[in-house]
Structures are given as structure tokens and as C-alpha cells.
Amino acid sequence: MRQRTLPLLTFGLIFLVCGLWAILSQIPFNRFQKKERFLGPDGAIAFLEEKTINSRFDVRGPIEAPVKVCYVDVDTYAISKIGNFPWNREYFALALDALFEHGEIKAAGMDFVFSNAGLPDIGREEMEVGSGRLGKCIYKNKNVVLASTYGTTNRPLGTETTFPFVFDKKRPDQQVGPPELPAYSVLGPFGHVGLIDTIGNDVRFVPFFAKTNMPVEHTYYPMSLKLALLYLGLDESALEISSDSISIRKTDGSLAARIPLLMGQLAEPNWFSAWDGPDTFHASIFYVIAYAQILDDGTEEQKITAKKFFEDFRDAVVLIGPVDPLLKDLSPMPLSGSGPVPRVSLHGNLLKTILSGRTIHRPPVWLNVAIIFALGLLASSFSLLPAQYSIASKITGAVVVISYIFGAYWIFSHYDVIVPLVAPVGAALTCAFTGALLDLSRLNQQKRRIKGMFGTYLSPNLVDKMIESGEEPKLGGIDAEITAFFSDVQGFSAFSEILTPQQLVGLMNEYLSGMTDILMENGCYVDKYIGDAIVGIFNAPVSLEKHALKACIVTQLLQKRLAELRQKWASEGDKWPPIVSRMQMRIGMNTGFATVGNMGSSRRFSYTMMGDTVNLAARCESGSKSYGAYTMITGETMRSAAKEGDDCVFRFLDNIIVKGRKEPAEMYEVVCLRSDLTDETNRCLDIYAQGIVHYLAQRWDEALAAFQESANLEPNRPEKNPDSPSTPSLVMLERTLSLKANPPEASWDGVFKMQSK
């Protein structure tokens, strides 16, 4: 009896859990949340479901639409040229005339409410003249939709609402007036108006009509719908409103478009393109006006440019709206990247939704509930199989859940159907993986312990790798083979003298960020920053295969990244003095055993390195300047890297005794990556190597000839890189001349002793 009761209790609990998720997915609590967020049809978990919906848009990406939509922006540049907002409305008239006449557009939507309330007291007479000019423009061009709005409409139930929502039954006999409309001098009896209202700052659901009963009964429609009618050559008589949709009928009675409605009034836009995506065309309103003026009085060459500019607008629907952040018309939207974007893009995506027929669809409530129970029960049933099937059942349950998730994304991408994700997956995970979640909780505790121990001095990616590998660096010092890395900006003191503190901080942050990203992505632990210098460790605290080779490859990736930054800084015009776009970096590295570990005090410590290997790496960086090289490494690093692969090209520089050491060390230059080696550089290296052989054999004339020839082939010779005053060939040429004039002793072994760090 007890054995039979246990499964009943288990399945009863599963049904209870599924039921709770079903309730959470459907119970509306209040139709409006705090912070002006509309709850929508996803119930109490709407904020989670919204994130999955946004990700579905991101995964699907931009899609094509049958209508061309262009945006003319009232942006920061236009405001800087024309003046602070609001402008004389004549500027909008000039832009509209230009777009219809030269751009040959189909229709235009103005995301501004040109009411009398928008006229400033100062210069009001002049502004009213501008309003009249705009009105004449609209009368002439016809297919223009002006904005109207009920203003801020999203308030908790129980208080007065301005927008006439049909699902607000608090006052069914309420007298509903019209929205704020454009001034009569602008709109006249001939203009079109469209609502631009959203529910607070939420653009996922848009009210698609507003019925008024005073002074007369009238229905107002959104700007996107009015633009769609103009694009199709229809008027409002083509619209039919039902309890669950708005239909557009052609003159012959056939269906042109159908927009599903939620809660009897709300439409859900499909997002066709990102605001800043490559398939979204933008132009500042200032350029529209300026190019129109050029077509009137510009040169022939200027007119050709202006005509090409307006060709991009041909047969398009244009939306003119506020873009400058100070105009405060921004909202977070799908496909918008990391931050809010101008709300005018909502109207463009709604227009594409209407005309494409790719409207968003959602299953009925009963089907959503059935999906929750089905997935929860199916996933949990695998976890109830006998112990011998434990691993297989967990895998099968995971496959079921993952398949459902992928299916939800696939269905949305191909059919624009939003099936619920959070509630079904939540029910399945809650029912089937309680034990696994407990194990995961214990694992997370272990991860948090490790991050608590080492997160103060290790980069996050190394901590994660350490957790995955099970390796933990011991507290205190240990001996480990590493490749020590040092880099420095050439002539940094000159930057400090020329740049302001703010400029210097901004420049260094951008430079250090670019270098650090590459170092950390390639397994280097960034030990510290010393001003403009970077100190790093390869192969500690986490082991890194082929660390010497990877370190050498990274030096060239860093030099390439710096070249990209130089090009970027040069393109920014007067923002930076010329010295910035000529920034050079020198790198030194050495491979060997060093002491690495947690060093410092009990109150402040860091994971770092010390020892002769480290000191020699630092001398490589400072000494590279003496050889006209930008990346100097020791023979130990070169030989280790050469054993691990041939991705890099090396050049022998010299045998030197650096200051502070008694024993000589071989020094090499990392010339380039093997894939970047040119024939000229390859020939330079061959001739240079011959010169080194002659030099060490004290055949001065032959060495001079070789170094002179290789100097003319150096990739960084001064005529190609003015900021590289010397090269290894020139350095050896000068030293050979000196030795020829003052020959060394017969026992000379070719070792050069450096007198400075």
C-alpha cells in the first residue's frame, strides 16, 4: 500500500508544481506593474519570458520586409547645426518638400505632435508662421501622417487613465476626449494623424486604436497603420475592427492585411531590423535640408552627390523622429543591442509587420497550460525510472527540455509563433532535476569558495579555467616554468607632456583595454599595470600548453591591434595630437623557472612572479630600443617556441650581458607571424644572418656590406616608419664600423655588454 502511495504522492507533487507554473504564467495580478511596465499576456513571469522573447529575436536576426523604411533623424548633429529644440516648424516643411520632390517617397510619418502647446512663448509669432508653412507643405504632399498622443497613460488600476483602454472597465460610461492633436494651422481639414502612444516605456504591446465619444464619436489609429493605408492607397474605410484583430480590406473586398489583437486592443510588433543595423537607413534631417539646398544652388559636382543622396529614399516610407538622447524618446527594444534606442523605430517595425503579414502569433491559454503539464510530466517521468537507468534517464530528460527550447526558437524563426518557454522549462526542471539542482548547488558553493579565495587577484577567466581543471595555485611561492611578459609604450613621457590628464586617462584606458583583451584571451595572466607598462605571466597560475609559442604569437597580435588603434586615432581628426597616431610599443619576454605565488601581506596581496627569469624579461623590453626592435626575447623563449611550432619568424640579434647580470644571454627578435612573412622581409633576414656570421668572424668589410644591404630591406626602416629611428641592421652596421675602426682583442667572443637598463 505504501509503495503505491509513494508514486501517487510523487505525481501529485509534480501536478502541483506544474499547476503552480501554469498559474504563474497566466495570473495577471495587475495589468500594470510599477515603473510603467506592462505585464502583458505572460502573467507574473512576464519579465523572464520577455528576455527569452528578446533572445529569440536576436537569434533569428533581421528579416526582409516588402516595404522600404528610412529614418530621418533629429539627431545631435542637426541640433548642433540648426539650434536647440523646438525648432521653427518651417525646417520640417523644408525636409518634407525635399523628400517628396527629390526622394520621391511614398509617405512620411512625423513622430512629433505639432500642437499649439509645443510653441514657445519666445518667438511665438515666428513659430506660428512656420506652422503655417508646414501646413501648406502637408496640403501639397498629402501622404504625411502627423503624431497625436494621449500622453503618459500607464497608471495602476484604480486611478484615472487617460488612454481609453477597452479592457479598463472601471468607468464604462466615461467621457473620452480626443488625443493631443496637431494645431489646426498644421493639420487643417486635409491632414492625417496617427497615435504614437505606447504603454509607458514598454513597446512590446502597442494600443492599436482609441475610440472617443466627445465631442463626437471617432476612432483614432496608430501612425504605423495610417502609413500602411497610405502605402496601399486606401483610407480608414478599409479598416474592420473585431474582438481579436484589425483587418485591412482592398477596394475589391479582398484581405490586404490582418493584425491580431491581444486583450481586444493591443498589437505586438515584429522586429525586422535593429536601429543601428546595416540594413537600416538613417540620415540626419540637416543633411536632407542641406542637400535640397545644394540641388537649388550648388555646383554640378555637388548636385550629383545630392542626387545620389536622395536616391536612397526612392519609394520609401520615411519616419522623421527625435534621436538625440536629450529629447528623451528612447526605449529598450529587441534587436537593439545593449541600450535603449529611439522609439521612432517602433513605428517602422510596426509598419513592416502590417505590410509583410509576418505578425506575431501566440497559442491560446488552454494550449499554453497543456504544454506546461506535458513537458513537466514528460521530463519528470524519466527521472522516476529505476536506478540502473539513472544516467540514461537524466540525459533523456535533458534532451527533451533542450529540444523543446530549440524547437521554440525554430518555430519563432520560421513561423513567428511565440510558444511559452519560462513556465514549461521551469516546470520540467523543477519536477525532474531537483536532485541535480542540489548537486549543482553544492558545486556552485565550491566555485564560490574558490572565487572567494582567488578572485581578488586572478582574472575571472583564469578562475573559471582553474575551477574546470581542478587546479589551485598554492598559497605562497612555488617554482614554475613560465614565460614572463613585459611591454611599454615608446616615449611615454612625451604623451604625458602633450595630453591633458583627461585625454591621457582616456587614451591609456583604450590602449590597455585592447592589449589586455588579447593577452587574457590567449591565456596570459595580467600581473599588474605600471603606468603604461603591462606585466604578464604565461603558464601560471594555470598551466598553458605551448606557452612560449603562444606568448610569441601574442606579441604580434598585440602589435597588429596597436596598428588598428593608431589608424582609429588618426581617423578621429583633431581629437588627438599627431603623436598619438604614431604610438609604438616595445615588448620583452623570457622563458624559464621563476617563483610565482601569492605575495604581499595578509591584508593586501597579489599573485605575481619574481626571480632572475623575470628580471631578464624586463631587460629584454628596455633593451629592445638599443637594437631598433619592438619585440625582443631570449634564446630560451625562442628555442621553446620553435620546438612547439613554426608560427613565428625569429631573428638573432646579439649575445649581451644585461646590467645586473654576469652571464651573457642570446637575444632574438620576433619579426612577424609566418603567415605575414613577405619576400622582401625574408630576403632581409637571410642577408642579415650572413652579416652576423661575418661580424662574429671579424670580417668587418663583408659584415658592413651585408648589414648595409639588409638595412635597405628592413620592414621598419625609417623611410617606411618615421617613428622607428633605427633597425637591427642599422644598429649592427654602426657597431661594425666602430669595431673596424677600433678592432677588439683576439680573444673577443662577440658578447656585447649593456651599460644601462
| pLDDT, average across residues 344-368 | 90
Predicted local distance difference test score (pLDDT) of residue 179: 86
Higher pLDDT, 35 or 655: 655
Pair (325, 303) in one structural domain: yes
Q: Decide if pLDDT at 31 tops 50.
A: no
Higher pLDDT, 589 or 8: 589
Flag whether 280 is in a domain: yes
Cα separation, 612 vs 161, in Å, equals 76
Cell of 36: 510603467
Flag whether 731 is in a domain: no
Pair (106, 213) in one structural domain: yes
Predicted local distance difference test score (pLDDT) of residue 138: 92
Cell of 92: 520640417
Q: What are the tens digits of pLDDT across the range 66-87?
A: 999 999 999 999 999 998 888 8
Q: Decide if pLDDT at 345 tops 70.
A: yes
Flag whether 687 is in a domain: no
Pair (265, 390) in one structural domain: no
Predicted local distance difference test score (pLDDT) of residue 166: 80
Pair (266, 127) in one structural domain: yes
Predicted local distance difference test score (pLDDT) of residue 323: 92
Domain count, the chain: 3
User: Which band of pLDDT confidence, cut at 50, 70 and 90, is reported for residue 675?
Assistant: very high
Predicted local distance difference test score (pLDDT) of residue 295: 92
SS3 annotation, 327-373: HCCEECCCCCCCCCEECHHHHHHHHHHHHHCCCCECCCHHHHHHHHH
| pLDDT, average across residues 281-310 | 93
Pair (480, 402) in one structural domain: no
Q: Decide if pLDDT at 277 tops 50.
A: yes
String of DSSP letters for 459-471? -HHHHHHHHHHT-
The alpha-carbon radius of gyration of the chain (Å, integer) is: 35
Looking at 604, 625, 646, which one is the last position of a domain?
Answer: 625
Looking at 599, 625, 651, which one is the last position of a domain?
Answer: 625
Q: Decide if pLDDT at 434 tops 70.
A: no
Predicted local distance difference test score (pLDDT) of residue 433: 61
Q: Decide if pLDDT at 511 tops 70.
A: yes
Cα separation, 510 vs 494, in Å, equals 18
User: Which band of pLDDT confidence, cut at 50, 70 and 90, is reported for residue 756?
Assistant: low
Q: Which of 295-299, 380-384, 545-549 has the lowest mean pLDDT?
A: 380-384
Q: Which residues contact 677 (CB under 8 A, 6 or more apart)?
A: 649, 671
Flag whether 152 is in a domain: yes
Residue 143: phi and psi, rounded to 5, are: -80, 60
Question: Domain residues for 425?
Answer: 2-58+360-432
pTM over 0.85? The answer is no
What percent of the chain is predicted at pLDDT more than 90?
A: 49
Q: Which of 152-156, 178-182, 541-545 has the lowest mean pLDDT?
A: 152-156
Higher pLDDT, 29 or 579: 579
Q: Which residues contact 215 (CB under 8 A, 6 or more apart)?
A: 177
Looking at 399, 432, 465, which one is the last position of a domain?
Answer: 432
User: Which band of pLDDT confidence, cut at 50, 70 and 90, is reported for residue 1?
Assistant: very low
With contact defined as beta carbons under 8 Å apart, do 681 and 671 qualify? yes
Cα separation, 386 vs 481, in Å, equals 50
Q: Decide if pLDDT at 206 tops 80.
A: yes
Flag whether 653 is in a domain: no
Domain containing 574 — which CATH number? 3.30.70.1230
Residue 255: phi and psi, rounded to 5, are: -85, 125
Predicted local distance difference test score (pLDDT) of residue 159: 38
Q: Decide if pLDDT at 292 tops 70.
A: yes
Q: Residue type for 228, please?
A: A
Predicted local distance difference test score (pLDDT) of residue 507: 94
Predicted local distance difference test score (pLDDT) of residue 341: 86
Computed over every residue of the chain, the mean pLDDT equals 84
Q: What are the tens digits of pLDDT across the range 465-497?
A: 666 655 555 556 789 999 999 999 998 888 988
Flag whether 718 is in a domain: no
Predicted local distance difference test score (pLDDT) of residue 706: 95
Comparing CA positions, the residue from 110, 120, 460 lying closest to residue 319 is: 110
User: Which band of pLDDT confidence, cut at 50, 70 and 90, is reported for residue 156?
Assistant: very low
Predicted local distance difference test score (pLDDT) of residue 316: 94
Flag whether 534 is in a domain: yes
535, 540, 542, 543 alpha-carbon torsion, rounded to 10°: 120
Query: Which class for 363: exposed (0-12), middle (13-18), buried (19 or more C-beta within 10 A)?
Result: middle
Pair (182, 286) in one structural domain: yes
Pair (283, 210) in one structural domain: yes
Flag whether 301 is in a domain: yes
Predicted local distance difference test score (pLDDT) of residue 358: 92
Predicted local distance difference test score (pLDDT) of residue 711: 93
Strands (E), 36-96: 69-74
What percent of the chain is predicted at pLDDT more than 70?
A: 83
Q: Decide if pLDDT at 382 tops 60.
A: yes
